[in-house]
C-alpha cells in the first residue's frame, strides 16, 4: 500500500472517529439538555401550591318563618308560628388548589399533557344574627332552626358568588399561573396539550377554563 493511500485512509479514519465522537458528545449534550428541561418544567409546575384568589364580603337581610301544626288524624286544628329577621355578614373565598393539576411529561416528544385542571373552591363562612324573634313555647327556635337557616343562606350566597364578576377575576388569576407553564414550555420548544388538543396561545388556554 502506497504512502499516499495510507495517508488518505488515515485521514478518513480520523474523520470518521471525529464525527463519531462529535455525534456522541452532541447526543449526550442533547440528552442532558432534555433532562434539564424536563426537570425545570416539572419544578415550574410543582412550584405552584394552593392559590387563594380573592375574597368577597356579603351583607344580607333575610326573614325566616316556620309554623308548627297541631291536630290529629291528618287534620290540622291550629298552627303556632315563629318568625325572625336575620342579618348575615359572610366572607366568601374563591381559590384554586393547583396541587390538583394533573399532568404527564413526555420528554421523548417534548410534550406536556395536562389531564385535569383544578376546579374552583368556594368557601363561605356566614356570621348569622337573629333579630325581632317571635316564637312561642309550643314552637321555640332551636339549634336545628339555626343550622337550617345557616345552610340556606350559605347556598344562596354560593349561587351569588358563581354569578359574581369576581369569579372571572379569580379565573384570570388561575390563567396567569397556567400561562407561566405555557410560556416556559414554548420557549424550550415543548408542546402543551390539554385532553389531546394542542394549546397554541393563552387565549386557547382560557377557552378550556370557560
| Helix, strand, or coil (residue 26) | helix
Helix H or strand E encompassing 100: none
Q: How far apart are CA 131 and CA 63, in angstroms?
A: 10
Question: Residue 20's pLDDT is what?
Answer: 47
* Residue 33 confidence (pLDDT): 55
3-state SS record for 69-128: EEEECCEEEEEEEEEEEEEEEEEEEEEEEHHHCEEEEEHHHCEEEEEECCCEEEEEEEEE
Contact by Cβ (8 Å): 124, 164 = no
Residue 135 has pLDDT above 60, yes or no: yes
Please give the span between the terminal C-alpha atoms of the chain, in angstroms, as a whole number: 77
- Of 134 and 41, the one with more pLDDT: 134
pLDDT given for residue 116 in this prediction = 87
Q: Using the Cα atoms of residue 98, residue 119, residue 89 and residue 56 in order, give the sign of their dihedral.
A: positive
Identify the band that residue 177 occupies on the pLDDT scale cut at 50, 70 and 90: confident
Is pTM beyond 0.85 here? no
The neighbouring-strand residues paired with 70 are: 78
Which pLDDT does position 69 carry in this prediction? 62
According to the model, what pLDDT value does residue 141 have?
79
Let me know: does 166 contact 120? Beta carbons within 8 Å: no
The 10s digit of each residue's pLDDT in 13-39 is 544 444 444 443 344 444 545 566 667
Higher model confidence: residue 145 or residue 47?
Answer: 145
| C-beta separation of 193 from 111 below 8 A | yes
Distance CA 134, CA 182 (A): 59
Backbone angles phi, psi at 114, to 5 degrees: -85, 120
Interatomic CA distance for residues 5 and 2, integer angstroms: 5
The three cell numbers locating residue 158:
354560593
Amino acid at each position: 500500500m502506497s504512502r499516499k493511500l495510507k495517508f488518505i485512509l488515515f485521514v478518513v479514519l480520523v474523520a470518521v472517529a471525529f464525527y463519531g465522537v462529535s455525534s456522541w458528545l452532541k447526543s449526550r449534550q442533547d440528552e442532558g439538555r432534555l433532562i434539564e428541561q424536563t426537570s425545570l418544567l416539572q419544578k415550574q409546575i410543582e412550584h405552584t401550591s394552593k392559590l387563594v384568589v380573592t375574597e368577597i364580603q356579603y351583607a344580607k337581610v333575610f326573614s325566616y318563618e316556620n309554623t308548627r301544626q297541631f291536630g290529629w288524624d291528618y287534620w290540622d286544628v291550629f298552627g303556632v308560628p315563629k318568625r325572625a329577621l336575620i342579618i348575615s355578614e359572610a366572607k366568601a373565598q374563591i381559590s384554586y388548589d393547583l396541587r390538583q393539576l394533573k399532568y404527564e411529561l413526555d420528554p421523548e416528544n417534548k410534550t406536556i399533557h395536562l389531564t385535569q385542571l383544578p376546579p374552583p373552591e368556594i368557601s363561605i363562612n356566614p356570621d348569622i344574627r337573629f333579630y325581632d324573634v317571635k316564637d312561642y313555647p309550643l314552637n321555640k327556635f332551636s339549634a336545628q332552626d339555626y343550622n337550617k337557616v345557616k345552610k340556606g343562606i350559605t347556598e344562596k350566597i354560593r349561587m351569588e358568588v358563581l354569578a359574581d364578576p369576581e369569579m372571572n377575576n379569580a379565573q384570570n388569576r388561575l390563567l396567569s399561573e397556567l400561562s407561566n407553564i405555557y410560556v416556559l414550555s414554548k420557549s424550550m420548544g415543548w408542546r402543551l396539550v390539554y385532553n389531546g388538543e394542542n394549546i397554541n396561545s393563552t387565549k386557547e388556554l382560557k377557552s378550556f377554563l370557560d
